[in-house]
Amino acid sequence: MTIRGVTLRNRIVLSPMLTYAAEAGYVNDWHLVHLGKFALGGCGLVFMESTKVDPGGLTTPRDCGIWKDDFIPGLQRITRFLKQHGAVAGIQLGHSGRKARNSVPWQGRSQLPSPFPDVEDGTDWELVAPSPLPAGPGLEVPRELTIAEIHEMISGWGAAARRAHEAGFDVLEVHGAHGYLIHQFLSPTANQRTDAYGGSLENRMRFAIEVVTEVRRHWPEDKPLFFRVSAVDEDGGTLEETIALSRALRELGVDVIDCSTGGMPRRGERTMPTSGYGYQVPYAEEIRHAADIATMAVGLIIHADQAEAILNEGRADLIAIGRELLHNPNWTFDAADKLGVEQPYNSAPEAYGYWMEKRRGGDVDFLAGLSTRPSTWQAGIDAGGGV
């Protein structure tokens, strides 16, 4: 698939997934190995996890950062490796707003005190949001952003896009979902402003639109721009509003809508599905047709034939996979084999593909040898040595 000036070798995408392994915003060997294995495993597009445009927007102290040029060399090391092995390198940019400053999931996601010593030399880690409303019961009330601060933050997104380009990424995604800052502005309950950034849908969309405009201004014209949405959420966010947003984003140069759901604290009755194979695919399908824009489907897409059907039926243009790729980093090659692709391992590194092909067809010479002579370990067992 070719989008603007970038061609993907296939339509399988590693979904951006937080791994909470950065150190004061800096990537390290973990990120190189973690992301590199998905390039080796055949993915067409490999997304760096949500990387924060401002230190105050970190979900946890272990999030990756891109708010200063010092981060660029570490990111370049990753993009070089991904490209060397045939994958397109993508990055998701985010800001957590009122959902910032938490411990990592396996430590309970509890809200941390401020200042916190591991972020920008222990400077104050203040929670900010469109309105002074907490992310949930008993949580800290964030400070409402001023108009000047909103404009400064928008500039920060643009600067982050420039750094992403300099770091060697060829696809950029703006994170506008899952209850984080842009989603907070879009929400009629999280956003209670009475100025140009609150009230009507047009006003609530303004922050997202101005962020995308600034990002596109700093992001090369020949590089694709994605935008992740929560197509619906627990607090009344509707598909109709998301379609309106997607149409507006298309006109601003967004190429693909990444269709997720949820993330806004529940106030009313839950009206959205939260489980089942491909449970978010219907939203990708509806947005694709109603907004006339390419979409990426995500959410419990597990099997090769399931993914292939989504594409063949015109329900989405790209398949984003998360947990299943964590389980099997070579999912792409496995899918090609199961779908009957001739020479499914021909794009694998030689050190992998040679042996994968033998595993697939059976090494006739090796198997014949086993039938005529015992292996070393079998001989040891026969001699009474045990295993």
| Closest to 79 (Cα-Cα) out of 54, 47, 52, 41 | 47
Task: Please enumerate in sequence order all residues whose Cβ is within 8 A of that of 45, keeping only pairs 6 or more positions apart, or say none.
Answer: 8, 12, 13, 14, 87, 88, 90, 171, 318
Q: Is 279 a catalytic residue?
A: no
3-state helix, strand, coil in the chain (%, to 5): 40, 15, 45
| Closest to 31 (Cα-Cα) out of 52, 10, 17 | 17
Q: Is there a contact between 319 and 311 (Cβ–Cβ < 8 Å)?
A: yes
Q: Is 377 helix (H, G, I), strand (E, B) or coil?
A: helix
Partner residues linked to 149 by β-bridges: none
Task: Please enumerate in sequence order all residues whose Cβ is within 8 A of that of 291, keeping only pairs 6 or more positions apart, or say none.
Answer: 243, 246, 247, 250, 257
Residue 328 token pair: 């099997």
Q: What is the CA radius of gyration of the chain?
A: 23
Catalytic option among 20, 26, 180, 279: 180
Residue 258 token pair: 């990444």
Backbone phi, psi, residue 268, to 5°: -115, -160
The one-letter amino acid code at 227 reads F
Task: Give the DSSP per-residue string, 4-39.
Answer: TTEE-SSSEEEPP------BTTB--HHHHHHHHHHH
Q: Which residues are catalytic?
A: 180
